[in-house]
Structure 1
Amino acid sequence: MTTTTTRPAETAPQGDDAPERAVTGKLRGSLGVASIVFIVVAAASPLGVIGGPVPLGIAFGNGAGFPTIFLVVTAVLVLFAVGFTAATPYVRSAGAFYAYVDKGIGRGAGLGTAFSALLSYLVLEAGVFGLFGPGVDNLLQSYGLPAVPWWAYAAVGFVVVSALAYFNIELSGRVLAVLLIGEVLIVLALDAAVVFSGGGPEGFSTGFLDPAQIVSGAPGFAVLFALLSFIGFEATAVFRDEAKDPDKTIPRATYIALISIGVFYAISSWALISANGQSTIVENATANFGTILSDTTEQYLGAVGGHIIQVLFVTSLFACILSFHNISTRYFYSLARKGVIAKPLGIAHARHGSPSRASLVTATIVGLLVVAAVALNLKPIDEFYTWLGGIASVGFVLLLVITTASVIGIFRKEPHGVSLWRRLIAPTLALIGLLGFFAIILWNLPALVYEDSYGPFSIGILVLLALAFLAGPIVGRFRKGAELD
């Protein structure tokens, strides 16, 4: 990454390395593998997935065969990670996707990827507030508190997230670690209870082994919800500047995050199916989508377990929001450091070593999106979250496709002594799988935003992403001095 000359930092430098940060604006951090894994897995919101996309994938996808879809998606994403991590030592920037695209395809495409990624992460962070606000309200109503507008609790969460993200990344990492451990433990406790009780009314589900079950219903819809469950895993590379040893830390964190998420989802969705009965799970998930996880937890872990899962579901959404805020902030910071956007956003806080100015910009945009949702009287879940989630899901898979093609391009220019498997075979297999997933996403996009066929919202999502990508070459033409890597 190129070094830029900046104006004085926000406050008087403190600490041994503060003078250097004041001049260069560099981030301070010593994130190890575990810290990055916590941040990235928290973005995936494991408990939120088990309580949200999993029941949806079961109900509207392929029922008892859904756990297998997680394994298939994980396998394709592992193939993606093979090429992605192989290229990491040769992409020195913390720009994640766009730095790879810049190096493999070109500067215009790299900038287009950066803007597409920013759009996807920002709208998803804002959209999750549409889940968080009602979630807190429902939780507190269960304890006897009166109902309040969803945006009131969203506003409180917004303030806390903005404050945490303003300070050093290690503080956010510690908060995310605590929240993530809690949500994973309660789901694992439920999994264990189901296993040790011998399963549900029909014993253990075997649908994930039955080809007829795997392809039953709408497996394409199941793939869509499975992919939504992985958004954020690829962001390991965003934290390159704050990693202890990025050439080792980033690949290890990527593999650990990806595989652990995939295995966790597959096992937990299988346990949920087993607990409710394979023959009736589709009916139960369809009728009780919003409560099937808490109801099942209460059945196997008692009333206390049911209350714990309600609390941790809300904290899971908070952790998800905080993670996406950190990711978006580092995109802004990295682009500013390279001269693509206003350079002051690329100055780190002199005391905290955090991208504080970039964080404030992220907060402002997300806050405006939430305010717009309230002003337009949008339903927080059915409209605000769903529409923005549609943008993020299409953007996520599109970014994976472009990045995979870029990795192949990087090694076509120079093999760097990397094995044929890592530089070509695995990325090519991943590209084939991801293109198939992208076709499935496009086919099912109207249903995701509650349209019978392609209408204003479905088309609007594609137009927004296209405009974000096309902005790359345009900005690149006017910011010729900017270098992405």
Structure 2
Amino acid sequence: MGQPGALRGSIGIAGIVFLVVAAASPLTTVGGALPVMLAISNGPGVPLAYVVVALVLLLFSVGYATMSRHVVDAGAFYAYVTRGLGRTTGLGGAGLALLAYTAIQAGIYGLAATTSQGLIIRFGGPSIPWWILAAVLLAIVGALGYRSIDLGARVLGVMLVLEMGVLTVLAATVLIRGGPEGYAGTSFTPSTFFHGAPGIAIMFAVASFIGFEGTAIYGEEARDPRRTIPLATYIAVTLIGVFYTVCSWAVVVAYGPGQVEAAAGADTSGLVFSAAGRYLGAAYADVMNVLLLTSLFAALLAFHNAIARYLYALGRQGIGPALIARTHSRHGSPHIGSLVQTGSAVVILALFALAGADPVLALFTWMSGLATITMLVLMILTGVAVIAFFARERVDTRAWPTRVAPALGLLGLLGITTLALANFTTLISGSPTLAAILLALVALAFAGGLIVARSTVST
């Protein structure tokens, strides 16, 4: 039941921002990734890492948002690279996008299943294998992803308000009451930032922003996309950057800049929840633990929707079976792309389950590292494409949004990517051999897109 045609939806600025910030998964980042950053990177200097990454991405977003007024396509980065650098390079970018989103979503399934398992046991239930819980989550995500984006946006909106609400209350309480060493203003000084391993902090911070491309992905389902997409992009990047900066600073304040690294190393998984228990009570910490699962679910749904729309955009361009380009006759959703995405997630999860791999130490860690590097490479390609597009098309001759800001953003991304590559083995907590294999997958994804482009041209 489907037909060729355009996607349908009436999502506004708030709905798109919800989808993008949900993909960033605030409670997962603050409760899960932040303690690791504090333990192994630059400790009390972590808040400034979020500021640096947010500023680079805002510069990148200037050209990206300006180009969105001229390119409205569910393929987003893929479509931008195609318009700027040609169809062949564009399909290479599509390969990178599919790899990045598929990897991060698969990794989150592992973390979400483990979180579900822990909550069930915590409240007196049985120990259920992680892969069964992952299958249940996958079925729910698949059902929502099959339907209209408006429904998914409403579900994500409710979840996002709840998780950001509990973190806001925690951060406000800590910053009002203060910590054992005062207010840790040194977190925003260069000397504190360059303490330890700031490159690792930057790399984790970049991973926290994966998914902000979603502002353009939903352009065809938005009201007035030429206005909605630029505003949603700026709001999403700014909101994520400010929120993570304040929350990370609050955690530093809660433990004190001189003690937070040791505290994070001693209790990585419970650091933020312990702070919540100390400042707001044990019941509040329990609520945060439950909302961590809804945060992960929100991220799963957001990435599912992004992948389904990428597949739809490729099918519409004649890449792959034409069936993928069909939209649901009632929901107006890329329902075939949604089903294909669900199938690919089943395959990846089955491989890790059959191999007996740890759902967090292997599945989540490896896939998150792979997604971070892949997305950085894709953003660099997109940055070059934006500059090339405006230089060739001359549809906008303003210097700042079409040349200066995109060039500065591109330089920032190149610097961040250099740091990420230098610290990649640390990010995945693996061996140099594993790092080489995962980096080879990035190259293969791009090369695969190039081969598909050449083969479709020749036929």
TM-score w.r.t. structure 2 length?
0.98
Q: Would the aligned equivalents of 2:72 and 2:225 in 1 still touch at CA under 8 Å? A: no
SS in 2 for 1:233: coil
User: 1:59-208, aligned counterparts within 5 Å?
Assistant: 59-197=39-177, 199-208=178-187
Structure 1: any 5+ residue segments left out of the alignment? 1-8, 11-21
Count of residue pairs brought into register by the alignment = 459
1:480 aligns with 2:438: no
Instruction: State the Cα distance separating 1:261 from its structure 2 match.
Output: 0.3
Question: In 1, distance between residues paired with 2:105 and 2:93?
Answer: 18
Q: Give the corresponding residue for 1:4.
A: none
1:215 aligns with 2:194: yes
Q: Give the corresponding residue for 1:43.
A: 23
Question: In 2, distance between residues paired with 1:131 and 1:375?
Answer: 17
Q: Give the corresponding residue for 1:445.
A: 424
Which residue among 342, 346, 371 is the counterpart of 2:325?
Answer: 346
Q: Would the aligned equivalents of 1:101 and 1:110 in 2 still touch at CA under 8 Å? A: yes
Residue by residue over 1:49-84, the C-alpha shift from the partner in whole angstroms, topping out at 9 and shown as x without a partner, is 001221111111111111011001100000000010
SS in 1 for 2:423: helix
Segment drifting more, 135-144 vs 282-291:
135-144
Question: In 2, distance between residues paired with 1:372 and 1:283?
Answer: 36
Question: In 2, distance between residues paired with 1:460 and 1:418?
Answer: 43
- Compared with structure 1, are the counterparts of its residues 35 and 481 closer, same or farther at alpha carbon in structure 2 (3 Å cutoff)? farther
Which residue among 439, 446, 459 is the counterpart of 1:469?
Answer: 446
Residue by residue over 1:187-239, the C-alpha shift from the partner in whole angstroms, topping out at 9 and shown as x without a partner, is 00001111221x11112112223322110000011111111111001221111
SS in 1 for 2:218: helix
Question: In 2, distance between residues paired with 1:368 and 1:43?
Answer: 22
Instruction: State the Cα distance separating 1:36 from its structure 2 match.
Output: 0.5
Q: Give the corresponding residue for 2:407.
A: 428
Question: In 1, distance between residues paired with 2:168 and 2:72?
Answer: 38
Question: In 2, distance between residues paired with 1:277 and 1:291?
Answer: 16
Q: Give the corresponding residue for 1:396.
A: 375
Partner amino acid, structure 1, of 2:89: A
Q: Percent identity?
A: 41
SS in 2 for 1:434: helix
Which residue among 406, 410, 413 is the counterpart of 2:389?
Answer: 410
Q: Would the aligned equivalents of 1:53 and 1:226 in 2 still touch at CA under 8 Å? A: no
Q: Give the corresponding residue for 1:281.
A: 260
Task: Please provide the CA RMSD for this pair.
Answer: 1.3
Partner amino acid, structure 2, of 1:479: T
Which residue among 297, 304, 321 is the counterpart of 2:283?
Answer: 304
Which residue among 437, 442, 459 is the counterpart of 1:460?
Answer: 437
Instruction: State the Cα distance separating 1:465 from its structure 2 match.
Output: 1.1
User: 1:216-295, aligned counterparts within 5 Å?
Assistant: 216-295=195-274
Q: Would the aligned equivalents of 2:16 and 2:214 in 1 still touch at CA under 8 Å? A: no
User: 1:356-367, aligned counterparts within 5 Å?
Assistant: 356-367=335-346
Residue by residue over 1:135-187, the C-alpha shift from the partner in whole angstroms, topping out at 9 and shown as x without a partner, is 01111211111222111211111111011111111111111001000000000
- Compared with structure 1, are the counterparts of its residues 446 and 169 closer, same or farther at alpha carbon in structure 2 (3 Å cutoff)? same
Partner amino acid, structure 2, of 1:476: A
Residue by residue over 1:265-301, the C-alpha shift from the partner in whole angstroms, topping out at 9 and shown as x without a partner, is 0000000110111110000011111001111111111
